[in-house]
Chains A and B, each alone.
Chain A
Amino acid sequence: MSSLKGTFDQLERDVLAAMAKPKKSFWLALAVSSLMFAVGMGCWGWQIYKGLGVAGITNPVGWGVYITDFVFWVGIAHSGTLISAVLFLFRAKFRNSFNRTAEAMTIFAVMTAGLFPLIHLGRCWLFYWLFPYPNQRLLWVNFRSPLVWDVFAVSTYFTVSLIFWYVGMVPDLAIVRRYTTGVKQWIFRIFSLGWRGTRYQWEHYGKLYMFLAALATPLVISVHSVVSWDFAMSVVPGWHTTIFAPYFVAGAIFSGTAMVITLVVPMRRIFNLETYITVSHFESLAKILLFTSMIVTYSYIVEYVLAFYSGHEFEIAHFLYRSFGDYKYLYWLMLLCNSLLPLTIFVKKLRRNLTYLFILSLFVNVGMWLERFVIIVSSLAKDYDPYAWGTYTPTLIEAGITLGSFGMFFTFFLLFTKYLPVLSITEIKEISE
């Protein structure tokens, strides 16, 4: 056995190796994702130039791919907070392997999500009208509107997640400071705030981390509840239902956990982090995936069954439309991805097979995107009045912007893996002694 110091030195070298000169594969990945990002921005530019008509959204389906993307990306963010805050409170040790990447994912996903309301706005340069500020017209925002709740929920979420992520990183930045020189060192010197690791610093730090975790836990539940209320507050069949809040929260964590698996499986292989992120850690993530998948399935069943139980004709018509109408293939594909495929995690061999988990996580990502699309579009396409029915097909511009959002997310994530420690070195030290 080497000394504790020896183990720690090795750990630091292994983790920080990712920040050294990257391999070709990194540049290739970065090139592809920034190209996607550029395509998305180009599409948005075109939309701003030509007007919102280039998107397929129109009456009666006024919410389409953009709102789907918004909900999808906010959802992706959620498992970051779950892993970093909720599992911290439950003292689950496997969180240390994922919390840094998951939190980074939260930040980037919220940033990506935050763009979509602006894209959807049309005149996006007037976005600041959403904020309550004193103005000449003496008007205030309508605090009874769920869309304003969104502004508050998402910006609070972004701020608190950013603080949480940064705070968790300060001791690690101080480590990087030790390994760098010149301008780079200056940057890390500034961002590590002159951290030294004295006992009072650790004491305050520990308390701060716990309080932030305790604040972030109800926050994460509230954020997706608020997102779900964008739908549930309206009187539209398929939307106006009380289970939406917990159902969306579970779905968010479900999709976010899938995204963590999607990102960390390749990252672990590229940066040789097998010692620190073990298969058992992935197994625990897979269990969260299974658990949330079952909550989502429970919600699907309850929604459907209670529509028939109540005998409410519009609800029944809606759920029949959802499963046998214009969007039926998407609906059944969604059920396959979200409810059926995750059940295979019950098989121990499969949940310990990383290639399988990776592929499964891709299916879950697709499934959860489809879930939002199906909920949003099918409810709007056919509500009460047959005269106002219609269908919706996304245009290429909408597809391009969606592609761009993935590009943006992956670009940021790749830059993160290059410039910041991808594992929480300090916390791994803490549990490894």
Chain B
Amino acid sequence: MQRNVYIFGLAALIIALGLDLLAGDASLLPALLFWTAIPQGIIALAAAADLSQGRWIVSIKEKLHRFLPLLILPPVAFLIYALHHTHLYDWHEHPTAWLEPTFFTIRNFGFQLLTFVLAFLYVRASRGESPRTGFWAVFYCLCFVTTQTMQGIDWVMSFEYPWISTLYGAFFFIEALYLGVATMALLSLLLLLRQGRQYEKVLRDSGALILGFALFWAGQLYAQYLTIWYGNIPDEVAYVAKRVEHSPWTELSVFVVLAMFVIPFVGMIPRRAKVSPALVLAAVVLIYAGYIVEKVIYIAPVAPLSPLFTGLQFIALGLPAAYLLRQLIQEPKEAKTAV
């Protein structure tokens, strides 16, 4: 059963490679960012809960740990991307000490791999209730933060080198946690529908966390926007102007704010909404869509990106996750009574 996840993962990688060769543009990147953020965010949530001795997560923690195998995918998929596509970046022609194709590939591959290794060590410790759990959880979290920061700065922000926003990297790990929370909501929702009311509490908490993260996400986006808008430095503003002043980017930007902030936030305010399957599902789908569209907005104005292949890559890399999710909700009930 666990093996099938790996088989799906391998299939996903082969399809992604094929699609990538066909497309020849950056269309692997949004899907890669998404399917990296989800398992990393989920394991980070479990680790954070272990560190803060949060009891709210107990009933579902074992299932969150099961996302671990999905973390093997990002390093390999990143190699597929990096080996083909560093020429999409302007700095490819004029490398700097930091932005240089070989170093770029090695350091990011290394961080992705390290994240997997630390996640593995953490999950093993946590499952065995080892006293080292906290130790590995801390290291995993540190590595998660660094890896996501690097994804933000290296993979995406460097398309616009030398433009910088110091919050960019942090924004990526906040988003990864947000996606993790959304996925946890989705998982507990499906479990609630399949296996009964013992998951209602987790779902309620996940709904509340979506509410919180929606606002927090908006705050961080606004912090970047406001600073750049107010400073009004031509070099800096150009980045934003490119993405909000012309169709279709204007509309898509509005969509992102609606999908990741306004709708989930307003939708999750009422008490009953947090356990309403339709509303939670809508919020989760919107958050997912918002994340992908947001990344497209970052990349598409400066690098070739075909919408069709972006979608296909998203589905391809999602295969093992979809399989895993199906497994998790179909399992016999005994797993959670042990908790």
Q: Taking beta carbons and an 8 Å cutoff, which residues of A are in contact with B?
A: 89-92, 217-218, 221-222, 225, 229, 232-235, 240-246, 287, 294, 298-299, 302-303, 306, 309-312, 346
Question: Given known contacts A298-B170, A302-B149, A309-B98, is B54 in contact with A240 (CB within 8 Å)?
Answer: no
Whether B219 and A218, one on each chain, are in contact in the complex, defined by CB atoms closer than 8 angstroms, is yes
Question: Which residue of chain B is the closest to A302 with respect to CB atoms?
Answer: B166
| Cβ contact within 8 Å between B153 and A229 | no
Asked if A218 meets B215 with Cβ closer than 8 Å, knowing A91-B56, A311-B96, A312-B162, the reply is yes
The 6 sampled A-B contact pairs (Cβ below 8 Å) are A218-B215, A246-B223, A287-B52, A310-B162, A310-B164, A312-B164
Who on chain A is nearest to B165 by CB?
A242
**Measured between alpha carbons, how far is A113 from B216 in the docked complex, in Å?**
26
> Do A92 and B224 touch across chains, with their CB atoms under 8 A apart?
no
- The interface residues of chain A lying within 8 Å CB-to-CB of B167 are 242-243, 245-246
Determine if B164 and A235 form an interchain contact, defined as CB atoms under 8 angstroms apart: no
A90 B54 Cβ-Cβ under 8 A: yes
CA distance A294 to B96 in the complex (A): 29
Supplied contacts A233-B227, A243-B166, 17 more A-B pairs, CB within 8 Å: A91-B56, A92-B52, A218-B219, A222-B219, A229-B227, A241-B166, A242-B168, A242-B223, A242-B228, A244-B223, A287-B51, A299-B166, A302-B166, A303-B166, A309-B153, A309-B164, A311-B162
Of residues 123 through 151 on chain B, the ones whose CB sits less than 8 Å from some CB of chain A are 138, 142, 145, 149
Q: Closest residue of chain A to B98, judged by CB?
A: A309
Q: Chain A: which residue is nearest B269 at the CB level?
A: A214
- Asked if B21 lies at the interface with its beta carbon under 8 angstroms from chain A, I say no
* Docked CA distance A349–B2 (Å): 40
Q: How many A-B residue pairs have CB under 8 A?
A: 82
- SS class of chain B's interface: helix, strand, loop or mixed? helix
CA–CA, A91 and B212, complex, Å:
15
B233 in complex: contacting residue of A91, A217, A235, A244, CB < 8 Å: A235
Interface residues of B toward A: which range?
Answer: 35 or more
Complex contacts, A240 vs chain B, CB 8 Å: 227, 231, 233
Q: Which residue of A lies closest to B48 (CB)?
A: A291
Identify whether the interface residues of A are mostly helix, strand, loop, or mixed: helix
Residues of B within 8 A of A302 (CB): 149, 166, 169-170
Tell me which residues across on chain B come within 8 A of A225, comparing CB atoms: 219, 223
Residue of A nearest to B149 (CB): A302
Give Cα distance in the complex from A236 to B52, angstroms. Answer: 39
Nearest-Cβ distance from residue B264 to partner chain A, whole angstroms: 15
CB distance from A96 to the nearest CB of B (A): 16
Q: Which of B52, B98, B153, B164 has the most CB of A within 10 A?
A: B164
Proximity bits, B229-252, A CB within 8 Å = 1, else 0: 011010000000000000000000
Instruction: Return chain A residues, CB-CB under 8 Å to B170.
Output: 243, 246, 298, 302
Q: Per-residue 0/1 for B94-106: is the Cβ within 8 Å of any A Cβ (1 yes, 0 no)? A: 0010110000000
Residues from chain A with a CB closer than 8 A to the CB of B220 are: 245-246
- Is B79 part of the contact surface with A, judged by Cβ < 8 Å? no
B219 touches A221 (CB 8 A): yes
CB distance from B146 to the nearest CB of A (A): 9
Asked if B52 and A245 make an inter-chain contact with CB atoms under 8 angstroms apart, the answer reads: no
**Which residues in B have their C-beta under 8 angstroms from that of A287?**
51-52
Is B145 a contact of A298 with CB atoms below 8 Å?
A: yes
Closest to B138 in A: A346
Measured CA separation A309–B164 after assembly (Å):
9
B266 contacts partner chain A, Cβ-Cβ < 8 Å: no
A387, B328: Cα distance in complex, Å: 67
4 closest cross-chain pairs (CB), A and B:
A243-B166, A245-B223, A242-B167, A242-B224
Task: Answer whether residue B226 sits at the interface, using C-beta atoms and an 8 A cutoff.
Answer: yes
Greatest chain B CB density within 10 A among A225, A233, A242 is at: A242
A241 touches B169 (CB 8 A): no
Contacts of B163 in A (CB 8 A): 310
CB-defined contacts of A233 to chain B, threshold 8 Å? 226-227, 230-231
Distance to closest chain B CB from A348 (angstroms): 9
CB distance from B88 to the nearest CB of A (A): 19
CA distance A233 to B52 in the complex (A): 35
Contacts of A243 in B (CB 8 A): 165-167, 170
Measured CA separation A204–B170 after assembly (Å): 39
Query: Which residues of chain A are near B168, meaning CB under 8 Å?
Result: 242
Pairwise interchain contact A306-B164, C-beta atoms closer than 8 A = yes
